[in-house]
Structures are given as C-alpha cells and as structure tokens.
Amino acid sequence: MKLLTIGVVVVVVCGVCVCDNTSAKPKYAKKLKQHCHYENATYHAGQKFKPNACTSCRCSRHLRRVVCSVMDCIWNPNCIKYEKKKGVCCPKCLEYGCLHKDNKAYRLGSVVSVNKCEKCYCPKSGGRTECERLNNCPRPPCVDPHIPKGKCCPKCPNGPSCRAFSQVIRAGIEVVINGYRCKCPRKKAMWRGSLDANCFKD
C-alpha cells in the first residue's frame, strides 16, 4: 500500500480499490479502476457475473467487494421424476405422485400396499396416500382402544370405559367430578350409544 499526500487530498492506493476522502480527485486517479477478486478471477466495479446457475454476483461500487445472492429451489415431495438441464438452477418436475409413510414416492393411481387390514393407494390428484380398511370392525366399547399387533380390529385392553370431563371412567362405575355425579353405562349399552358418561348436578 502506498500513501500519497496532495494538498488536503489523501489517496490510498491498494491492490483492490482507490479510496478518496474528499470530492476532489487527482487526474491520474481516473486511470485506476476499482475491482474485486472472486475465485481467482478479477471483476470491475459494477460488473455482474454468475459463478454457477444458482448464484448471481456483482462487484459492488460502494462496498468494493463481491455481493452474491443464491436462488433456492423448492423441493416438491410429490414429484417422483425430475429433469435437470445444464445451465438451469432448479430442476423441472416431469411426473407427480404420492409420498407414502415409507418415504417412497408412488405414481398417481397406483396401489401402494395391501394387507389383510387395509389397502393404501395414491389418488389421481396426488398428495398423500389414502388408505381404506378391508374389515368392518365393530366400534370398541371404550375411549382408549388399541390395535394388537397382527390384528385388524381395535380392542379395549383396559375394559369398557367412557369419558367425563376428560377423565376416563370404567363401565358401571359412578364418580363425582366438579360437583357432577357421573356414571359410565354398562358394556351392552355402550355398543349402541355414546361413549360419554351420564352426568348430573350433585
């Protein structure tokens, strides 16, 4: 770096830029061009360039350094086939499908899985896979059902139950909750009616 003093004008000459503290500029300063370095290349002040398809840069006149912006490509989980062209940042989707819970993509209208309990398929509109049960299971007489491993229909591991004020009550049991006397119906009644307990002001 070389420091030159000309009257009240102080000019710092460096390998990258010319810095001037006043509006007055010596005649030879016009010959010195501001420039930036980026990945072993030199660019003039104000020059724009693209290092790759997704990045746009320019050599800033005021900051005297390279400023870049990067394009973000939106990933579509329902796309199962992409096309990537040379010189283009983001790939183009050629075919849409569904993303199943096994993290695999399937074509529109295709059957994803079938077992003795349900059939899952990719709807023609795309998006999430849809499943339909193959068994007509009766409604379990409890509010906390569980499907045993290897079975299709839910069972009541804790026996018949109903719900009152977010509390689970076993069938035939009467309790007092928040000043209300609540009773859970017997098992036979619960198969036909609601799973809410019968509550009355105590």
Mean pLDDT of the chain: 77
**What is the chain's length?**
202
pTM for this entry: 0.41
83's CB contacts (< 8 A; 6+ apart) are 91, 92, 93, 94
Distance CA 77, CA 126 (A): 11
Instruction: Region of 21 please: left (phi>0), alpha (psi -120 to 50) or beta.
Output: alpha
Residue 163 phi/psi, 5-degree rounding, is -125, 140
pLDDT recorded at residue 58: 92
73's CB contacts (< 8 A; 6+ apart) are 54, 89, 90, 91
Distance CA 43, CA 58 (A): 8
List the domain boundaries for the chain: 2-70, 79-133, 137-202
Percent of the chain topping pLDDT 70: 80
pLDDT recorded at residue 150: 82
Report, as an integer, the average pLDDT of 153-161.
88
pLDDT, tens digit, 9 for 90 and up, residues 58-114: 998 877 789 999 998 988 877 888 898 888 999 999 888 887 777 778 888 888 888
pLDDT recorded at residue 67: 92
Strand 111-114 with 105-107, pairing = unpaired
pLDDT recorded at residue 48: 93
